[in-house]
Amino acid sequence: MQALTGRILYKEGYTFVEAIIALGVLLVLASLVPLLLSPIQKQPPSIQLEEISVFLSMLGKEVREGRSIEVRNNGLYITQTTGDVISFTKYHSLIRKQVNGQGHEVWVQNIQELLIEKQSGTSFKVTVIDTKGKELMRVFRRFK
């Protein structure tokens, strides 16, 4: 009778090996869940677009603090109250800032195109196109 009871308990329970196999299968399936959910998740905004947005905001600050602004040769030249001239131009695949034609301060990297167009006597439009073809544009207007 004891042998029979032992068999029934053995048949109703799990062995240690079965538990390890079940745990292994569970871990494999759990590791696949992020792969299945990745198409559903919202993609973060492009870092490049954020960098261009910050550039346009900082450019607005430079424009507000400048004494006069000139657009020439697809570059922006801001004369400060100190007499220094700050220029923003495209150089290879980046936008650089120079003071009095010297220096090389990188403000944006990996761009395809920088377009600066004078719209009127007090406004100009800056368009930046990144290497993926995404375009950000902002119009700046100065008040005298």
Mean pLDDT of the chain: 86
Question: What mean pLDDT do residues 99-128 have?
Answer: 93
pLDDT at res. 1:
46
Q: What is the dihedral of CA 50, 51, 55, 56, to 10 degrees?
A: -30
What does the alpha-carbon distance between residue 66 and residue 49 come to, in Å, rounded to a whole number? 26
> What is the Cα–Cα distance from 110 to 92, expressed in whole angstroms?
9
pLDDT in tens, 63-92: 999 999 999 999 999 999 999 999 999 999
Res 6 pLDDT > 90? no
Between the two ends of the chain, the Cα-to-Cα distance in Å is: 105
Q: What is the pLDDT of residue 11?
A: 59
Mean per-residue pLDDT for 122-144? 89
Q: pLDDT tens, 23-68? A: 999 999 999 888 887 777 676 667 788 899 999 999 999 999 999 9
Confidence of residue 10 (pLDDT cuts 50, 70, 90): low
Instruction: Give the separation between CA 125 and CA 35, rounded to whole angstroms.
Output: 43
